[in-house]
Each structure stands twice: as C-alpha cells, then as structure tokens.
Amino acid sequence: MSDSKNLMDVALHLGDNALILGHRLSEWCGHGPVLEQDIAMTNIALDLIGQAKMYFDLAAELEGAGNDHDHFAYKRDVLDFKNLLITETPNGDYADTIARQFYFDQWHYLLLQELANHENERLREIAQKSLKEVTYHQRWSSEWVVRLGDGTNESKEKMQHAIDDIWYYTGEAFMPADFEKGILPDNLKEQWMSNVKAVLDEATLTMPSDEWMQEGGKTGSHTEHLGYILAEMQFLPRAYPDATW
C-alpha cells in the first residue's frame, strides 16, 4: 500500500472520528441539562465537524478523483467509515455522554500534541489549529467528570457506571491499524492512562481495570449504531444529490 493511500486513510480515520462524534453531540442541541451546557456541547460539535472538513479536504486531495468533503461525509457506506467505535456509542444520559467525551478528549489532545510537530505539513497545520479547540474540550469534559463524580450520591453512581460501561471502547485507539503505522504515534497509552487516572482520582471515582477491549472501527467493523447515524445524516444528500444551497 502506498504512502499516499495510507495518509489518505489516516485523514479519513481522523475525519470520521470528528464527524461521527460531532454528530452525536449535535443530538443534544436543545436537550442539554442546562442552557449553558447545551450551548457548550453544540459548540464542541461544531468544532469537531469543522475538523472533519479539514481532514476530508486532505483526503480528497490525496485521492485525486475530484471528490470533496461532502462526498466523504455523505456518499460513503458504513463499511467505508474508519472511526473509533467509541465515537458512535449512544448518548445515553448526561453521564454517559461526559464519559465518552472525556475518554476521547484525553486521547485526542495527546494525539494532536504529537501531530502538531508532524513532518507532513497538512497534518501539522490541521493539528495546530485543532489543538486550540481540543484543549478546551479536554478541560470541559474533565471538569464535568470531577463535578459529577465528587457531587451527590446519585451523580457519583451514574458517573461511575458510565466510566465503567464505556471503558471497553477506549483500547481501540491504541491498537494501530496498518495504515497508521509510521504516520500516527503509537506511544500514547501510558500518558493517557496516567491523565485519565489523575482526573478519576480527583473525582473520587474508581478507574476500571485494563481488560479486553472492543475493536474494529478503523477497518470498517462497526456497531449497529453507526448505520442509524448515517441513515439520518445522509438522507437528504442521497435523496437529492444535485441539490445546492
């Protein structure tokens, strides 16, 4: 497989992560627990979708087939998506959403720190721009883990349940697919574990044990949830392919 094809797959992987998680967070718009956090989640969703566009633009350039970012978002089928499974898990209650975001943000922040010095100019530029946004995402989700974990008995119970339930989706980020090797860093897990434990300790929550993990998203094996996401997200562009705004 050529270096160009591997880089394109990396761009799609990173773009798919941002697009699918951004779509999930957008489902909270108008349904947040309080107005301020409703707006915060919507803004994070917009940040992620903006990042997805940049990665998809890079993928389109590398593909050289005349496609654009809309093609990669709206014209691919489930098996073509390379997002981490954690990004497609249902929102659940507020604690579930916070746990998912917290785990992802801790990894995403470390990844972008590395990519901000990448030898590839386009990856480096995207990472440097995105890192400013993701620094806020990481702080926001970490603060909510602490707030809920060290809050009432009910909020602590719900936050611990969410931390335990979503844990089994975290390991996939540290299982490199073939297309990642030599492009994305493969040494983030130790620092990620340390950062996650520090926040969970502050939140008076118990860190789950490092056991068996779900995997497959990077190579197109997804949960049933992604199909429903794409059915909703892709309906209009597929029903009216020539429509313009």
Closest among 192, 198, 92 to 145, alpha carbons compared: 198
Q: Is the pLDDT score of 226 beyond 80? A: yes
Q: What is the pLDDT of residue 41?
A: 95
DSSP 169: G
Q: What is the pLDDT of residue 232?
A: 94
Q: Is the pLDDT score of 1 beyond 60? A: no
Q: What is the pLDDT of residue 33?
A: 87
- The band of 78, judged by pLDDT with boundaries at 50, 70 and 90, is very high
Which range has the worst mean pLDDT, 11-20, 66-75, 137-146? 66-75
Tell me how crowded residue 68 is: count the other CB atoms within 10 A of its CB.
14
Superfamily designation of domain 3-239: Ferritin, core subunit, four-helix bundle (1.20.1260.10)
Q: What is the pLDDT of residue 210?
A: 82
Give percent of the chain above pLDDT 70.
Answer: 99
Q: Is the pLDDT score of 244 beyond 90? A: no
Tell me how crowded residue 213 is: count the other CB atoms within 10 A of its CB.
15
The string of pLDDT tens digits covering residues 191-213 is 999 999 999 999 999 999 988 99
Q: Are 97 and 108 in contact (CB under 8 A)?
A: no
- The band of 50, judged by pLDDT with boundaries at 50, 70 and 90, is very high
Mean pLDDT of the chain: 95
Per-residue pLDDT averaged across 57-73, rounded? 95
Q: Is the pLDDT score of 21 beyond 90? A: yes
Q: Are 58 and 3 in contact (CB under 8 A)?
A: no
Q: Is the pLDDT score of 46 beyond 90? A: yes
The amino acid sitting at 18 is: A
The string of pLDDT tens digits covering residues 148-160 is 999 999 999 999 9
Per-residue pLDDT averaged across 222-239, rounded? 94
The string of pLDDT tens digits covering residues 108-122 is 999 999 999 999 999
First to last CA, the chain: 38
Using alpha carbons, list the distances in angstroms from residue 152 to 49, 155, 158, 207. 34, 5, 10, 19
Q: From CA 178, how far away is CA 186, in angstroms rounded?
A: 12
Q: What is the pLDDT of residue 103?
A: 98
